[in-house]
């Protein structure tokens, strides 16, 4: 029986990107099913994140996030977009990708697009190009976002995260029956997953 892992994250959260990279390394070759759960740190119309004009966020990047990325061998940049984009459209695109069996590939590509290529993932044309790169139909994807086909589905996903799962910060993982909130080491994640896999068999 496969182990189910739910991961709550936001595409503009650097800790979520590090968590995604770490998780992908840990689960490789294991019987694990990952379900990505949307969580918008700054949903519209909240003020957008602007780390380049926030000394505390810049200090956190330089003193904690960047060294952690380097230790993990991850080529990660603090995107020069100022402020950072809203992620509701990116998540609406995720729901489209899930229906076509490309959810995991989409998450990985959007994270990479933002934190490695500094792309504006708040723009439909950018998201459509990324979707095409993982094998999705660019025109159909673009139409789904322009018509806001998945707007309600995204709103329901956020409500579930806030109200049902009691998620207050990301990244957050539900690994079997264990809840892990915040960034953790690769070694700790390996240990938790190993324990849950044993319980699952």
pTM of the model: 0.92
Separation between Cα atoms, residue 15 and residue 12, nearest integer Å: 9
pLDDT truncated to tens, each residue of the chain (201 aa)?
A: 789 999 999 999 999 999 999 999 899 999 899 999 999 988 999 999 899 999 999 999 999 999 999 988 888 999 999 899 999 999 999 999 999 999 999 999 999 999 999 999 999 999 999 999 999 999 999 999 999 999 999 999 999 888 877 887 899 999 988 888 888 888 999 999 999 998 877
Separation between Cα atoms, residue 167 and residue 125, nearest integer Å: 31
Q: Where are the alpha helices (DSSP H) in the chain?
A: 14-27, 55-60, 66-71, 88-99, 103-115, 124-133, 138-146, 151-159, 186-200
74 within 8 A of 18, measured Cβ to Cβ: yes
* Residue whose entry in the numeric block shows the structure tokens 């061998």: 73
DSSP 3-state assignment of 9? Answer: strand
Alpha carbons within 13 A on the beta-carbon side of 181 = 6
DSSP 3-state assignment of 172? Answer: strand
Long-range (24+ apart) CB contacts under 8 A made by 119-126 are 119/79, 120/81, 120/85, 121/11, 121/12, 121/85, 121/87, 121/90, 122/85, 122/86, 122/87, 122/89, 122/90, 123/85, 123/89, 124/89
Domain ranges, ordered by start, for the chain: 3-185
3-185 CATH, one of 3.40.30.10, 1.10.10.60, 3.40.50.2300, 3.90.1330.10: 3.40.30.10
Give the distance, in angstroms, between the CA of residue 28 and the centroid of all CA atoms in the same chain: 18
Separation between Cα atoms, residue 25 and residue 117, nearest integer Å: 21
């Amino acid at each position: 029986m496969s182990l189910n892992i739910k991961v709550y994250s936001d595409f503009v959260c650097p800790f979520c990107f590090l968590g995604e990279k770490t998780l992908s390394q840990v689960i490789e070759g294991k019987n694990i099913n990952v379900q990505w759960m949307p969580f918008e740190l700054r949903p519209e119309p909240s003020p957008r994140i602007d780390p380049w004009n926030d000394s505390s966020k810049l200090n956190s990047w330089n003193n904690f996030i960047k060294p952690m990325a380097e230790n993990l061998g991850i080529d990660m940049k603090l995107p020069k977009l100022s402020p950072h984009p809203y992620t509701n459209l990116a998540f609406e695109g995720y729901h489209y990708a899930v229906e076509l069996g490309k959810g995991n590939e989409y998450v990985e590509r959007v994270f990479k697009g933002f934190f490695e290529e500094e792309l504006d993932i708040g723009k439909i044309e950018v998201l459509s190009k990324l979707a095409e790169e993982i094998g999705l139909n660019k025109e159909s994807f673009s139409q789904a976002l322009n018509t806001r086909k998945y707007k309600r589905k995204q709103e329901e996903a956020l409500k579930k995260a806030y109200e049902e799962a009691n998620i207050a910060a990301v990244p957050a993982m539900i690994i079997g029956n264990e809840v892990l909130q915040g960034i953790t080491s690769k070694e700790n994640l390996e240990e938790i997953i190993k324990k849950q896999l044993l319980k699952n068999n």
